[in-house]
A and B are shown apart, each in its own frame.
Chain A
Amino acid sequence: AQTVTQSQPEMSVQEAETVTLSCTYDTSENNYYLFWYKQPPSRQMILVIRQEAYKQQNATENRFSVNFQKAAKSFSLKISDSQLGDTAMYFCAFMKRSGGSNYKLTFGKGTLLTVNP
């Protein structure tokens, strides 16, 4: 079974600064997806960014980027120019990309990020 570990239960950052959230995972699979989801106080789950394991290039979405280290099984999220609206719980998640009934997400326990003015 896959496991996803987020070692930072809480983090804080000043507005306009950069912060990195850590995520490691354990799998024997070679073909998979990794995701970061954001959950603001509204409790809606919002996809921030995704990475396909076979792609070496790190994914980026505007101010959000990842550092994907496949050999180390590490998938960190970097938020640049932090904004107050980035305050949220962030979840790292893993999904196998093989066939059959494996298309389900395994989540980490989350990191609560607070952006301070």
Chain B
Amino acid sequence: DADVTQTPRNRITKTGKRIMLECSQTKGHDRMYWYRQDPGLGLRLIYYSFDVKDINKGEISDGYSVSRQAQAKFSLSLESAIPNQTALYFCATSDPGGPNWTGELFFGEGSRLTVL
């Protein structure tokens, strides 16, 4: 099983619908992130969380919300989906800072969302 699991892997929905993308991890990492990937734009940070009580906006948080239900779970919601939110969404985790911290992010397999 993958260390970082995203559900659903693929989703087609209609404009105005509420969508939740879920992420769970078994790596025991405190830090979790949601990124969005668009062709030609790379990955852009939507939200990030450094522990259960910590939620921070990234560079493109408008139209999105998140919930950190537990250390292992971090969900991304689109309250009213619109077509320009069609993208590939990635959840990622990283290990806490410390002397052996590598800075590496560990990614899920992505959730492809299409909003019609």
Contact = CB atoms under 8 A, between A and B. Distances in A.
Interface of chain B: mostly helix, strand, loop or mixed? strand
B103 A50 contact: yes
Interface stretch (A12-20, A63-71, A96-104): A96-104
Given A35-B103, A110-B42, A103 B109 contact: no
A107 B103 contact: no
Interface in A1-55: 4, 6, 9, 33, 35, 42-45, 47, 50
Contacts, number: 56
A101 B50 contact: yes
Given A35-B104, A43-B88, A104 B40 contact: no
Contact of A95 (B35, B88, B103, B110): B103
Interface string A99-117: 1010111111110000000
Contacts of B56: 101
B109 A44 contact: yes
A35 B103 CA distance: 9
Given A95-B103, A104-B45, A43 B109 contact: yes
A24 B90 CA distance: 24
Interface string B81-116: 000000010101010010000111101011000000
Interface residues of B, number: 25
B80 to A, nearest CB: 26
A49 to B, nearest CB: 11
Interface in B31-78: 31, 33, 35, 40-45, 48, 50, 56, 58
A95 B104 CA distance: 9
A50 B42 contact: no
A109 B44 CA distance: 9
23 contacts: A33-B102, A35-B104, A42-B109, A43-B88, A43-B110, A44-B107, A44-B109, A45-B105, A45-B107, A45-B110, A47-B105, A50-B103, A50-B104, A97-B103, A103-B50, A104-B33, A104-B58, A105-B92, A107-B35, A108-B42, A109-B40, A109-B42, A110-B42
Interface of A: 4, 6, 9, 33, 35, 42-45, 47, 50, 91, 95, 97, 99, 101, 103-110
